[in-house]
Amino acid sequence: MVQSLLALTPTLVVIAFFLIGPSNWSRRRTWTRAVTCAFVAAVALRYIVWRLTETVLPYPNDGINFYWVWFIFVVELLAFSEVVLFLILMSRYVDRSAEADRLGRPFFQRRHSDLPTVDVFIPTYNEPLDVLERTIVGTLALDYPRDKLKVYVLDDGRRDWLKTFCEAHGAVHVTRSDNAHAKAGNMNNGLRVSSGDFIAIFDADFVPYRNFLRRTLPFFSDETVGIVQTPQHFFNVDPVQSNLGLENIWPDEQRLFFDEIAPSRDGWDVSFCCGSCSIARRKAIDAIGGFPTESITEDLLTTLSMLNKGYKTRYLNERLSMGLAAENLTGYFVQRERWCQGGIQTLYLHNGPLRGPGLSLFQRIMFLPMSWLVQYLVRFAVLLVPIVYLWLGALPLYFTDVADYVSNQVPVLAAYFLLMLWITPTRYLPVVSSAIGTFAAFRMLPTVISSLVRPFGKPFKVTPKGSGNEESSFDAYTFTWIAGFIAVTATGLVINIVPETARIQGAFSAIAALWSGINVVVLVIASLICFEKPRRLFQAFKLDEPVRVDGTTGRVVSLSLEKAVVAVPTETRFRSPQVKLNLDGFEPIDAELRQATQRRGDISRSGDKRRYYLHLHFDLRGSERDKMIVKLYTGRYSRDVPDIDKVAVSVNLLLRAFGRTRGV
């Protein structure tokens, strides 16, 4: 009993530290983050020293198991290195909104003639009109003098219908004779035909908010700023949210980076350009010879090249645009494999973190693609350790007793999970986040290996987006791997429960059993992501605004470019399904009433119960459709998940595991 309590003491110390300190501290203060991250780093260092001195060095050289023990320790060393870099990074946080306010006042008080000119680049290859029209119309609606703003649609698809659309709306349609160097080459061609002082870049599926330039341009008052990057937000659910049945209760997969990691990188002056939703100084782009073409991730390499020349990147963590997240698993992996390969490519380039001139040692370290190189290897090792032990009896360490293991490993796990829950409270849950990472590992680890061996072996590949994007509804490759690991882990457990078939004995068996059980749970959740749910390509926005349908007053609670759902207080009958929708700021809209539904318990912002819902469909054309695009996509609405409802996440995952979903 006494020994058990002593073994738990370090874990209790960790828990007490977080209860006394971080739980009562602001997570945005630099000193609180620094103290907390330093504490977690100390706990991790204590663990790694114990691993080396007590569980690795004492292990006898008895053949293949000796090399297995050292392999696992090297993997843990890599994980430790990544965690330390992460802790250093997250020990700072910068919010530049107040700086944008301060710089914005004098910047826009200057005479109209003194305002800089801005070119907006929209590089496109094969996106359909229903994707491109939002971006083009949205950029043309930017709150900036029209004579100082030009929108360039850089069309590598050379489509006549897009040229016609651009001419009708006042955008400049640009083509070239070939598609050399993919997106980077396309934007370099845009540089040749444009002359603006600044260049804002939006991928073909991203729509800027109207105040984008007013919030970002003032940062260029500092002549050393070459790029201002803003976060990428989305108006549709990504395949992870959808396939897990967590559409409205779990944030999209990129929120952790854009909301938490990117502002911390900016606090250390190692922020980098992410391509879309950014704006760059033309003088800085000219200084590096245009957008770099050596890597398939020209955005990251642009930042590194500018750092070589003394220019820096700033990150403004404000919602200033919306776009399409990858719509299915095919697009999801195309995107991430490109990011992974591009990050690893920088290791081989003259202007990368290893060889690029003008970089400090700290910058070189922070721009190493450590996360890509380490995280998926670590996840595979976590899955393999209990399997190897259950089937072969091979220990991953020189094992003394359970108390020693609990005293050293449990505290570091507790410290890391508590840190993540404190520093990213609305973006992280240990089991779900681990399952998502494990799901990706089966495809991404081969990409890491192939990128290290042949970094330039795969060409640039566009992420498929849009209404024509209907791909496979089941990821058989990943599911096969996951199912195999579940089967081998579960079978190993069963075999070793029965005394007649047991292959292992000893104190580590209990730890291996618990470890295996956690792995099975994580793998089951990961397997759910493999099954594509039926999806709506373009989601409606939730709102609560007054509206009239013929003579009936109601409130529009859901609105898209083609549909509206109107809540009315009482059941209403119309003479005809053809009705007039009167929405503030629009001419009366000819709509068709397709359905009327009843739902109890809904309450509007005004407090009135709304039980009847009119489902209206319409077909807007011309300027009225453009007005609706501006209304919906340029800043008034969002699809953010502000907090994580842990109970709802658990219930929905359980239902999803049995093939059911619950409306959320």
Give catalytic residue positions: 156, 299
Structure tokens at 411: 């505290």
Q: Could you say which DSSP state residue 461 is in?
A: -
Joined tokens for residue 439: 């799901």
Q: DSSP string of 149-162?
A: EEEEEEETT--HHH
Q: Which burial class, exposed, middle or buried, applies to 309 when counting CB atoms under 10 A from its CB (0-12, 13-18, 19+)? A: middle
- Three-class SS of 291-329: CCCCCCCHHHHHHHHHHHCCCEEEECCCCCEEECCCCCH
User: Rounded to whole angstroms, how far apart are CA atoms 330 and 463?
Assistant: 8
Q: Which residue shows structure tokens 């926005």?
A: 541
By residue count, the chain amounts to 664
Which of 335, 273, 340 is CA-nearest to residue 304? 273
Cite the beta strand spans of 17-148 per DSSP E: 118-124
Cα atoms in the 13 Å half-sphere on the side-chain side of 396 = 24
CA pair distance 497, 642, nearest whole angstrom: 44
DSSP letter string, 180-193? TTHHHHHHHHHHHH
Cα–Cα distance, 213 to 120 (Å, whole number): 10
β-pairing, 118-124 vs 563-568, is unpaired
Longest dimension (CA), the chain: 88
